[in-house]
Amino acid sequence: MGNRPLDTLNNVLDQSVLVRLKGAREFRGILQGYDIHMNLTLDDAEELVDGEVVRRIGTVIVRGDNVVYVSP
């Protein structure tokens, strides 16, 4: 049996992740936490456009229903 999606998130806690949101927005930051709805808390978050940092945000909470994917 394969890993469940939340098991994968648990494996990358306190590590840098790339989060793609609906509307083609992307954020990169340190994954500090998540819940069963895939709401995410990122520290040292940065907004990316075409792979380039356009703004540093700090701590951000991302609502799970906007998440398209999370990549370690």
User: Where are the chain's structural domains?
Assistant: 5-71
* pLDDT at residue 2 in the model: 55
* pLDDT at residue 53 in the model: 95
**pLDDT above 50: residue 46:** yes
The pLDDT confidence band at residue 7, using thresholds 50, 70 and 90, is confident
What is the architecture of the domain spanning 5-71? Roll (2.30)
Residue entry with tokens 């709401």: 39
Q: What are phi and psi of 35, to 5 degrees?
A: -130, -175
End-to-end CA distance of the chain: 21
- Residue 7, exposed/middle/buried by CB under 10 A (0-12, 13-18, 19+)? exposed
Q: Which helix (H) or strand (E) holds 54?
A: strand 52-62
- Which tens digits make up the pLDDT trace of 12-36? 999 999 999 999 999 999 999 999 9
